[in-house]
Structure 1
Amino acid sequence: MLNPPDHYFEQKDEPIKGCIQYLRSLLMGYDDITEHWKYGMPFYYHKGKMFCYLWVHKKLHQPYIGLVDGHQIEHEDLLQEKRARMKILLINHLEDIPKKKIELILNLAFEIRK
């Protein structure tokens, strides 16, 4: 029996499935990041506090990383849309995943936590 996060990732179709599984492994590679199931989605905590989540944009059908304190981060690729606190980083699952850009933005998010 799969746990809820595993079930979430398994139910997705390729190429979105491969993309979000890669993003999951990237996030889990950081120290002090733990995966939880919250609000019906995979959520990632940093040192016990909500940090980010993975989801697929309903209108654009693209995976994204939602950053909990994204409103404090200035980066041209982060979208706020109608969110008050969070910003998202859309990932084009049909192209190479921009690992360096993702790591840069995650490092900015870690910095505001200090």
Structure 2
Amino acid sequence: MNPIQEYFYRIEEPERSTLLFLRKKILESDPEHISETLSFGLPFFKYKKKMLCYFYYSKKYKKHYVSFYHGDRLNYPELILEGRKKFKILLLDMEEDLPVQFILSLIAEVKQHIRV
């Protein structure tokens, strides 16, 4: 098992399946330009080798989240800044439907801010 797979398999169900599904959707949204790497022990998604977003778990909120680079340029009430300078997070509620289209639209917007 590679390190990225190990990260996901340390997560309990049903969160694991939800995050793996979201991971698949993100990678499929632009297979030529979006890649995945493990940075700081977390699965990072990169667009043309530049930071795009990553998954993590908030101990404060007790929820997994997606953190978006250039989040400081995204203006949506669903996103939380919490003292970060460049990243905003979107908390994932595992009890509700995953907002896949919203997440993919945020990724598309972040891609516009990345200089390659």
TM-score with structure 2 setting the length: 0.90
CA contact (8 A) 1:15 1:94 kept: no
CA contact (8 A) 1:54 1:64 kept: yes
Structure 2: runs of 5 or more not aligned? none
Matched, 1:3 2:10: no
Partner of 2:28: 29
Deviation at 1:30, TM superposition (A): 2.4
Percentage of matched positions with identical amino acids = 30
Task: Kindly report structure 1 stretches of 4+ aligned residues shifted beyond 6 Å.
Answer: none
Q: Which residue of 2 aligns with 1:58?
A: 59
3-state SS of the aligned residue for 1:35?
strand
**What stretches of structure 1 of length at least 5 have no aligned partner?**
none
Q: Which has the higher contact order (CA 8 A, sep 6+)?
A: 2
TM-score, normalization by structure 1: 0.91
Return the offset for 1:111. Answer: 2.1
Q: Aligned partners of 2:38 and 2:106: how far apart in 1?
A: 23
Q: Indicate the RMSD between aligned Cα atoms, in angstroms.
A: 1.3
Q: What is the rounded CA distance, in whole Å, between the counterparts of 1:10 and 1:76 in structure 2?
A: 31
**Quick check: 102-111 or 43-52, which moved more?**
102-111
Separation (CA, whole Å) in 2 of partners of 1:23 and 1:108? 17
More divergent stretch after superposition (20-29 vs 98-107)? 98-107
